[in-house]
Amino acid sequence: MQALPIAHPENAKAAPGASLPLAYSTAALCWLLSAGVYIAAKWVAPEMGPWALCFWRLALAFAILLPIVFHHYGAMIALIRSRAVEVVLIGAIGMTLCQGMIYTGLHDTNATTAGIIMALSPVMTMVIARIVLSEPLGLWKAIGAVFALAGMMIIVAHGDLAALKRLQFSAGELWIAASALCWGLYTVLLRRAKFDIELLPMVVLLLGAGSLVALPFYAWELYSGDRSTLHANGLIALAYMAGPGGALMYYLYNRSVAVLGAGPASMLLYLQTVFVALLAYLLLGEGLQSYDVYGAAFIVAGVILATLIKQKPSSANS
């Protein structure tokens, strides 16, 4: 939204007769571009405040995509007139807060760790859906959530059990964890809202709402004296985040969901974590810390337990 693309409608079905190799390549490219956002945000952190980065990325991506969805202007205007508060609220949580928290956290932690923690998002979504939508969690999903939470705690405490007892955590990792929580809440609220509009114009509306909500945070950042001093590298990073890592990424995600369906497209999300680690190693010189490896192992185990192991349906009493 973060850096992550928009949550998709769960009932999206695969398009018949579509080219699956092309569709999977499109989805993989989407997550590669999304991973690049973490790298660009970390790279530009010394030059640009997190809320300035959040505002300009959302506003520019909105401006790029708006002309593309001109056929849907009528439906978009009707939705704003009837449910503007919901659109702004969901855009604020999923676009503004989620992304602003990621960029804030990247000032104090590395991109690799941020990518690993954001892999928690699907598990958090399941837990929040249980609370907000009363969706059944099930034994394996509950166990998976505990494993994933344990992995996150290992990472935010840098593997120091004594730090857990003293409740001393790294601020950067806590910001990223809060972003993952916002993403889960955003996904559930978007699912509950059931907006009657296609995916790409919905993305554009949420980008617009998110940029409006980000504007006061950006203004506060300027008032506090944290002014951006962009040089060539910063401008390149922002251009990437708004263009290839923003508008193009959202467009490709929309295409992959339309062709593959919601399920396969969402499972490819975990490619993002791999791409982040690889790009961070190649471009930023980051390496995996031992606590990253241990925490990632718990998170992966939790995701597998929560998403891949199916609950046996209870037999009806005759």
pLDDT digits (tens, 9 = 90+) for 93-105: 999 999 999 999 9
Query: What pLDDT band is residue 265 in, cutting at 50, 70 and 90?
Result: low
Other CB atoms within 10 Å distance of the CB of residue 300: 17
Calculate mean pLDDT across residues 290-297.
82
Q: Is the entire prediction scored with pTM above 0.85?
A: no
pLDDT at position 61 is: 92
pLDDT at position 6 is: 53
Nearest to 4 by CA among 246, 309, 282: 246
Tokens at residue 137, please?
A: 């969690």
- pLDDT per residue over 53-112, tens digit each? 999 999 999 999 999 999 999 999 999 999 999 999 999 999 999 999 999 999 888 888
Tokens at residue 23, please?
A: 């569709």
Calculate mean pLDDT across residues 185-195.
86
pLDDT at position 3 is: 45
CA 107 from centre of chain: 18
Question: DSSP character for 208?
Answer: H
Helix (H, G, I), strand (E, B) or coil at 9: coil
Instruction: Please give the share of the chain, as a percent, with pLDDT higher than 90.
Output: 29
Cα–Cα distance for residue pair 47/235, rounded to 1 Å: 10
Q: Is the per-residue pLDDT at 318 higher than 70?
A: no
Other CB atoms within 10 Å distance of the CB of residue 287: 11
